């Protein structure tokens, strides 16, 4: 009838509720009669066969508030069962837990929301069974359950924050890597430009050395020709001077 029928926590038969009912739920919401019943007839309570005391029922309604839903034009409510459980019920609960774990394909190890939800339902059913016989023991188990849920929620928050932190660091590292790649590309381009300038400077230097060498060789050749010309001129002058010294009037 409803989306809650698959819970391992045992509930009584759903009843239709309205504002004009005599009996009220644990949250103060009135239970109304079914359309098939007279308006002045209160809804009969669930069977009390071997049920716990009224105080235990009130505690159960506080621990597990009645769940309500709308189906069509009718509103329905369902209280948690107050009927004591036997050893056979515990065995059936274990079998139901194993069956649901297989049906919903829960993971046997690691983080699994399905397995966690089913075990939470099973633990709630155990709290219900214990609370019927001993309210104090049931409240203590409720406290243990709340502490476990708080711890798991803290670990989940820590895990989610660590995942977000890791993703942020990964994105930052990727951005830094991209910036480093860009920096490397810029440096490689600068290196190529400097290499081209260096090669141009080396080529110019070689050309200057070659030009200076050619100029020096040309000057040396010119000097050698001048020296050779002067030597030749000097020799001619010596020869002419020697001829003049043998003249009669010399």
The residues that bridge with 15 in the sheet, in sequence order, are 77
User: By the 8 A CB rule, do 11 and 79 touch?
Assistant: yes
**pLDDT of the residue at 85:** 85
Q: Which two tokens stand for residue 74?
A: 């009718």
Looking at per-residue confidence, does 65 or 4 come out higher?
A: 65
User: By the 8 A CB rule, do 57 and 82 touch?
Assistant: yes
**pLDDT of the residue at 71:** 81
Is 46 within the bounds of a domain?
yes
Is 120 within the bounds of a domain?
yes
Looking at per-residue confidence, does 54 or 48 come out higher?
A: 54
Task: Classify 11 as helix, strand or coil.
Answer: strand
Residue 39, pLDDT > 50, answer no
Looking at per-residue confidence, does 215 or 246 come out higher?
A: 215
Q: How confident is the model at residue 78 (pLDDT cuts 50, 70, 90)?
A: confident
Q: Which two tokens stand for residue 87?
A: 């050893």
Is 235 within the bounds of a domain?
no
Is 244 within the bounds of a domain?
no
**pLDDT of the residue at 49:** 38
Half-sphere exposure of 17 (CA within 13 A, CB side): 22
**pLDDT of the residue at 53:** 64
Q: How far apart are CA 156 and CA 111, in angstroms?
A: 10
Is 206 within the bounds of a domain?
no
The residues that bridge with 34 in the sheet, in sequence order, are none
Is 124 within the bounds of a domain?
yes
Q: How far apart are CA 117 and CA 227, in angstroms?
A: 114
Is 141 within the bounds of a domain?
no
Find the domain containing 54 and state its range: 15-133
Looking at per-residue confidence, does 72 or 120 come out higher?
A: 120
CA dihedral 186, 190, 196, 201 (to 10 degrees): 180
Mean pLDDT of 104-119: 90
* Mean pLDDT of the residues in the chain: 81
**pLDDT of the residue at 20:** 45
Is 155 within the bounds of a domain?
no
Task: Classify 30 as helix, strand or coil.
Answer: strand
Residue 31, pLDDT > 70, answer no
Looking at per-residue confidence, does 58 or 36 come out higher?
A: 58
Q: How far is CA 231 from CA 91, 219, 220, 238, 241, in A?
A: 135, 18, 16, 10, 15
Closest to 77 (Cα-Cα) out of 23, 137, 36: 23
Closest to 80 (Cα-Cα) out of 149, 19, 36, 142: 142
Question: Which has the minimum average pLDDT: 16-20, 42-46, 110-114, 164-168?
Answer: 42-46
- State the total domains in the chain: 1
For the chain, percent of residues with pLDDT exceeding 90: 47
Mean pLDDT of 235-250: 69
User: Each residue of 123-169: pLDDT tens digit?
Assistant: 999 999 999 988 899 999 999 999 999 999 999 899 999 999 999 99
- Alpha carbon 16 to its chain's center: 45
Residue tagged 């890791």 (tokens) = 166
**pLDDT of the residue at 154:** 94
Q: How far apart are CA 68 and CA 16, in angstroms?
A: 9
Q: How confident is the model at residue 73 (pLDDT cuts 50, 70, 90)?
A: confident
Mean pLDDT of 205-230: 91
How does DSSP assign 141-169, residue by residue?
Answer: HHHHHHHHHHHHHHHHHHHHHHHHHHHHH
**pLDDT of the residue at 114:** 92
Residue 36, pLDDT > 60, answer no
The residues that bridge with 77 in the sheet, in sequence order, are 15, 68
């Amino acid at each position: 009838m409803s989306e809650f029928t698959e819970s391992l926590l045992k509930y009584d038969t759903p009843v239709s509720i309205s504002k004009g009912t005599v009996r009220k739920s644990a949250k103060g919401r009135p239970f109304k009669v079914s359309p098939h019943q007279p308006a002045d007839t209160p809804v009969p309570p669930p069977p009390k066969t071997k049920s716990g005391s009224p105080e235990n029922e009130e505690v159960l309604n506080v621990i597990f508030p009645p769940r309500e839903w709308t189906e069509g034009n009718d509103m329905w409510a369902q209280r948690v069962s107050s009927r004591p459980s036997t050893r056979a019920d515990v065995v059936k609960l274990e079998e139901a837990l194993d069956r649901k774990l297989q049906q919903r394909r829960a993971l046997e190890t690691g983080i699994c929301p399905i397995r966690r939800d089913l075990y939470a339902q099973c633990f709630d059913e155990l709290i219900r069974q214990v609370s019927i016989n001993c309210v104090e023991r049931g409240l203590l188990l409720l406290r243990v359950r709340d502490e476990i849920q708080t711890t798991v929620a803290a670990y989940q928050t820590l895990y989610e924050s660590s995942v977000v932190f890791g993703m942020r660091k990964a994105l930052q590292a990727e951005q830094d890597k991209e910036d480093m790649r860009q920096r490397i590309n810029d440096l490689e381009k600068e290196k190529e430009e400097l290499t081209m300038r260096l090669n141009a400077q080396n080529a110019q230097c070689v050309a200057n050395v070659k030009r200076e060498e050619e100029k020096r060789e040309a000057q040396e050749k010119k000097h050698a020709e001048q020296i050779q010309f002067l030597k030749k001129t000097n020799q001619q002058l010596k020869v002419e001077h020697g001829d003049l010294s043998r003249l009669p009037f010399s």
